[in-house]
Copies of this chain bind each other. A is one copy, B any other.
Amino acid sequence: MKKSWLVYGSLMGFLMIVLEVTHYKAVVKDIRIEIFGVVIGLMFMAMGIWLGMTWYKKKNNMEKYDPAKLGLSQRELEVLELLSQGYSNQEIADKLFVSLNTIKTHVSKIYQKLNAKRRTQAIQKARELALIAPSNG
């Protein structure tokens, strides 16, 4: 949480500096004050959204951390879900905006926790344990 506040403070400071510079240097003196206000508003909104998502993600993560899920982390459950839907590791990586290696690591840990040797076996066990969304089966 300390890191979040650090980032937030830094961004605030940076914004202040930008404000001062643009104000005194009169670089944007011909830009109407309304547009300037809108830009500042959007930047703060972006920060707010980022902060909100970060905290929500954390809260959500803790809530979903269910012992019945065999210690699978939130991210692992996400990967498992896509896995069961027939996506390849590369496709999952693209969908989650991470590298192929990262997905392979997640998948390996999923196998360990589910005691599976293959992805098809992981799907089977995940179904039995209702770890993945019930589909037409």
Contacts and interface: CB of A to CB of B under 8 A. Distances in A.
Contacts of A88: 117-118
Residues of A in contact with B, size category: 20 to 34
Total copies of this chain within the assembly: 2
Interface in A84-137: 84-88, 116-125, 127-128, 130, 132, 134-137
Contacts of A77: none
Question: Which of the listed residues A87, A121, A123, A137 has the most CB atoms from chain B within 10 Å of its own CB?
Answer: A137
A interface, over-half SS: loop
A127 B88 CA distance: 18
26 contacts: A83-B120, A85-B120, A85-B124, A86-B116, A86-B118, A86-B120, A86-B121, A86-B122, A86-B123, A86-B124, A86-B125, A87-B120, A87-B121, A88-B117, A88-B118, A119-B120, A120-B120, A120-B123, A123-B123, A124-B135, A127-B135, A128-B135, A128-B136, A130-B137, A132-B137, A134-B137
